[in-house]
Amino acid sequence: MRAFTYQRVAATAEATAALARIPGAKLLAGGTNLLDLMKLEIEAPTHLIDIRDLDLARIEDTAAGGLRIGALVSNTDLASDARIKRHYPVISRAIVSGATGQLRNKASTAGNLLQRNRCPYFYDTDQPCNKRLPGSGCSAIDGASRGLAVIGTSSACIATYPGDLAVALRLLDAEIETVDAAGRTRTLPIADFHRLPGDTPQIETALQPSELITAVILPPPLGGRHFYLKVRDRASYAFALVSVAAVLHPDRTGRIAFGGVAPKPWRVEQAEAALQDSAEAVVSIAFDGATPTEQNAFKVPLAARALASVIARARESSDAV
Amino acid sequence: MRFDEPALRNPIDDLTVFGRPVARIEGPLKVTGAARYAYERTELGKAAYGVVVGAAIPKGRIRAIDRTAALASPGVLGVITTLDHDRLPTADMCAATLFGGDVIQHHHQAMAVVVADTFEQARAASRLLSVTYERAEGRFVLADEEPRAEAAPDTENGGPDAPDIDVVGDFEAAFRAALVRLEQTYTTPYESPAMMEPHASMAAWQGDHVTIWTSNQMVNWAVRDIPRALGIPAENVRVLSPYVGGGFGAKLFIRCDVVLAALAARALGRPVKVTLHRPVIFNNTSHRSATIQRIRLAAGSDGKLTGISHRGLSGNLPGGLAEMATSQTKLLYAAPNREIGMRMATLDLPESNFMRAPGEAPGLMALEVAMDEMAEKLAMDPIAFRILNDTPVDPHVPNRRFSERHLAECLRVGAERFGWSARQARPAGVRDGRWLVGMGVASAIRNAIPMSSGARVRLERSGRLTVETDMTDIGTGTYTILAQTAAEMLGVTPADVGVTLGDSNLPRAAGSGGQWGAANATGGVFAACVKLREAIAARLGFPAAQCTFADHHVRSGNDTTSLAEVAQRGELIGEDLIEFGDLGKRFQQSTFGAQFAEVGVDAFTGEIRVRRMLAVCDAGRIINPVTARSQVIGGMTMGIGAALMEDLGLDAKRGFFVNHDMAGYEVPVHADVPHLDVVLLDHPDALASPTKAKGIGELGMCGAAPAIANAVYNATGVRIRNYPITLDKLLHELPPLSAL
Chain B residue numbers touching A280 (CB-CB < 8 A)? 737
With CA atoms as reference, report the closest residue to B647 among B332, B249, B188.
B188
Alpha-carbon distance of A181 to B381, in angstroms, equals 74
Instruction: Give the A:B interface size as CB pairs under 8 Å.
Output: 103
Give yes or no for a contact between A45 and A4, defined as CB atoms under 8 angstroms apart.
yes
Residues B260 and B376 in one domain: no
Residues B574 and B652 in one domain: no
Annotation says B698 is catalytic = yes
CB contact under 8 A, B653 and A143: yes
Hey, what amino acid is at B719? Answer: R
On average, the pLDDT of chain A sits at 97
The end-to-end CA distance of chain B, in Å, is 67
CB contact under 8 A, B606 and A121: no
Distances from the Cα of B686 to the Cα of A101, A282, B10, angstroms: 50, 67, 11
Interface list for chain A against chain B, based on CB atoms closer than 8 Å: 1-3, 39, 41, 118, 120-121, 123-127, 139, 142-144, 146, 229, 231-238, 241, 278-280, 298, 301-302, 304-306, 308-309, 312
Nearest CA in chain A to B54: A126
**Closest by Cβ to B669, choosing from A139, A235, A280:** A235
Looking at the domain assignment, is residue B703 inside a domain? yes
Looking at the domain assignment, is residue B298 inside a domain? no
The whole-number pLDDT of residue B15 equals 98
CB contact under 8 A, A308 and B737: yes
Alpha-carbon distance of B397 to B584, in angstroms, equals 13
Looking at the domain assignment, is residue B8 inside a domain? yes
Chain B residue numbers touching A2 (CB-CB < 8 A)? 124
CB contact under 8 A, B728 and A298: yes
SS3 B51: strand
Nearest CA in chain A to B56: A126
Give me the domain span that covers residue B641: 359-449+584-740
CA distance B108 to chain A (A): 10
Scored b (16 or more CB within 10 A) or e, B98-110 reads bbbbbebbbbbbb
**Closest by Cβ to B604, choosing from A142, A237, A308:** A308
Mutate to test the interface with A, among B76, B637, B728, B738 (most CBs of A within 10 A): B728
B484-491 average pLDDT score:
98
Chain A residue numbers touching B659 (CB-CB < 8 A)? 120, 144
Q: Does B434 touch chain A (CB under 8 A)?
A: yes
Residues B434 and B552 in one domain: no
DSSP secondary structure of B162-195 = --SSEEES-HHHHHHH-SEEEEEEEEE--B----
A87-108 average pLDDT score:
97
Looking at the domain assignment, is residue B303 inside a domain? no
Count of CB atoms situated within 10 Å of the CB of B93 = 14
Distances from the Cα of A111 to the Cα of A98, A188, B96, B330, B679, angstroms: 14, 16, 43, 57, 49
* DSSP category for residue A165: H
3-state secondary structure string, B456-487?
EEEECCCCCEEEECCCCCCCCCHHHHHHHHHH
Chain A residue numbers touching B434 (CB-CB < 8 A)? 309, 312
CA distance B605 to chain A (A): 6
Residues B119 and B264 in one domain: yes
pLDDT at B280 over 90: yes
Q: Does B270 touch chain A (CB under 8 A)?
A: no
Alpha-carbon distance of B657 to B654, in angstroms, equals 9
Helix (H) or strand (E) holding B3: strand B2-3
pLDDT at A319 over 80: no
Helix (H) or strand (E) holding B495: none
Distances from the Cα of B248 to the Cα of A252, B254, B529, angstroms: 53, 14, 30
Scored b (16 or more CB within 10 A) or e, B33-70 reads eebebbbebeebeebbbbbbbbbbbbbbebeebebeeb
CA distance B672 to chain A (A): 6
Alpha-carbon distance of B675 to B510, in angstroms, equals 33
Residues B626 and B516 in one domain: no
DSSP secondary structure of B557-582 = TTEEEEHHHHHHT--EEEEEEEEE-S
Per-residue pLDDT reduced to its tens digit, B60-112: 999 999 999 999 999 999 999 999 999 999 999 999 999 999 999 999 999 99
A184-193, long-range: CB < 8 A, 24+ apart: A185/A214, A187/A217, A190/A113, A190/A166, A190/A216, A190/A265, A191/A267, A193/A113, A193/A264
CA distance A220 to chain B (A): 32
Q: Could you tell me which residues come within 8 angstroms of residue A321 by beta carbon, excluding any fewer than 6 positions away?
A: A227, A313
Alpha-carbon distance of A89 to A92, in angstroms, equals 5
Alpha-carbon distance of B112 to B128, in angstroms, equals 12
SS3 A21: helix
Q: Which of B256, B284, B312 is the last residue of a domain?
A: B284
Q: Does B682 touch chain A (CB under 8 A)?
A: no
Alpha-carbon distance of A235 to B24, in angstroms, equals 31
Length of chain A: 321
Chain A residue numbers touching B123 (CB-CB < 8 A)? 1, 39
Q: Does B72 touch chain A (CB under 8 A)?
A: no
Residues B634 and B601 in one domain: yes
Alpha-carbon distance of A135 to A146, in angstroms, equals 23
Q: Which residues partner with A7 through β-bridges?
A: A49
Nearest CA in chain B to A309: B604
CB contact under 8 A, A121 and B731: no
Looking at the domain assignment, is residue B153 inside a domain? no
Per-residue pLDDT band at A317 (split at 50, 70, 90): low
Q: State the pairing for strand pair B590-602/B572-580.
A: unpaired
B8-35 average pLDDT score:
97
Per-residue pLDDT reduced to its tens digit, B138-170: 999 999 999 999 999 998 888 889 999 999 999
Annotated active-site residue in B26, B488, B698, B733: B698
Q: Which residues partner with B114 through β-bridges?
A: B51, B79
Q: Could you tell me which residues come within 8 angstroms of residue B620 by beta carbon, excluding any fewer than 6 positions away?
A: B404, B448, B519, B591, B683, B684, B685, B688, B689, B692, B693, B694
Give yes or no for a contact between A164 and A243, defined as CB atoms under 8 angstroms apart.
yes
Q: Does B64 touch chain A (CB under 8 A)?
A: no
Scored b (16 or more CB within 10 A) or e, B125-140 reads bbbbbebebeeeebbb
Report how many domains make up chain B: 3
Count of CB atoms situated within 10 Å of the CB of B497 = 24
With CA atoms as reference, report the closest residue to A51 among A22, A23, A11.
A11
CA distance B81 to chain A (A): 18
Looking at the domain assignment, is residue B380 inside a domain? yes
Mutate to test the interface with A, among B604, B657, B666, B670 (most CBs of A within 10 A): B604
Residues B221 and B133 in one domain: yes
CB contact under 8 A, B604 and A280: no
CB contact under 8 A, B737 and A305: yes
CA distance A59 to chain B (A): 31
On average, the pLDDT of chain B sits at 97
Hey, what amino acid is at B226? Answer: I
**Closest by Cβ to B671, choosing from A2, A121, A236:** A236
Residues B102 and B238 in one domain: yes
* DSSP category for residue B322: -
Rg of chain A (C-alpha set)? 19
Q: Which of B234, B258, B284 is the last residue of a domain?
A: B284
CB contact under 8 A, A124 and B127: no
A174-195 average pLDDT score:
98
Nearest CA in chain A to B128: A2
Per-residue pLDDT reduced to its tens digit, B693-732: 999 999 999 999 999 999 999 999 999 999 999 999 999 9
Mutate to test the interface with A, among B109, B737, B740 (most CBs of A within 10 A): B737
A50-72 average pLDDT score:
98
Query: Where in B654-702 does DSSP place strands (E)?
Result: 656-657, 676-680
pTM beyond 0.90: the answer is yes
**Closest by Cβ to B669, choosing from A41, A237, A306:** A237
Count of CB atoms situated within 10 Å of the CB of A138 = 26
CA distance A241 to chain B (A): 10
Rg of chain B (C-alpha set)? 27
Q: Does B732 touch chain A (CB under 8 A)?
A: yes
Residues B410 and B277 in one domain: no
Looking at the domain assignment, is residue B520 inside a domain? yes
A6-12, long-range: CB < 8 A, 24+ apart: A6/A47, A6/A48, A6/A50, A7/A47, A7/A48, A7/A49, A7/A50, A8/A50, A8/A52, A8/A53, A9/A49, A9/A50, A9/A51, A9/A53, A9/A54, A10/A53, A10/A54, A11/A54, A12/A51, A12/A54, A12/A56, A12/A179, A12/A212, A12/A214
Give yes or no for a contact between B168 and B107, defined as CB atoms under 8 angstroms apart.
no
Q: Which of B284, B303, B329 is the last residue of a domain?
A: B284
Residues B532 and B568 in one domain: yes
Residues B476 and B567 in one domain: yes
Distances from the Cα of A149 to the Cα of A265, A294, B139, angstroms: 11, 12, 29
The whole-number pLDDT of residue B366 equals 98
Calculated CA dihedral for residues B467, B468, B469, B472, nearest 10 degrees: 70
Looking at the domain assignment, is residue B250 inside a domain? yes
Residues B469 and B539 in one domain: yes
Helix (H) or strand (E) holding B35: none
Instruction: Assign residue B539 the CATH number of its domain.
Output: 3.30.365.10
How many C-alpha atoms does B129 have within 13 Å on its Cβ side?
28
Per-residue pLDDT reduced to its tens digit, B202-237: 999 999 999 999 999 999 999 999 999 999 999 999
Distances from the Cα of B91 to the Cα of B61, B225, B318, B359, B611, angstroms: 22, 5, 14, 21, 42
Alpha-carbon distance of A176 to B104, in angstroms, equals 50
Per-residue pLDDT reduced to its tens digit, A273-307: 999 999 999 999 999 999 999 999 999 999 999 99
Hey, what amino acid is at B589? Answer: Q
Alpha-carbon distance of A289 to B43, in angstroms, equals 64
CB contact under 8 A, A143 and B279: no
Nearest CA in chain B to A126: B56
Per-residue pLDDT reduced to its tens digit, B408-460: 999 999 999 999 999 999 999 999 999 999 999 999 999 999 999 999 999 99
Give yes or no for a contact between A74 and A110, defined as CB atoms under 8 angstroms apart.
no
Q: State the pairing for strand pair A242-248/A254-259.
A: antiparallel
With CA atoms as reference, report the closest residue to B90 among B81, B79, B80, B101.
B101
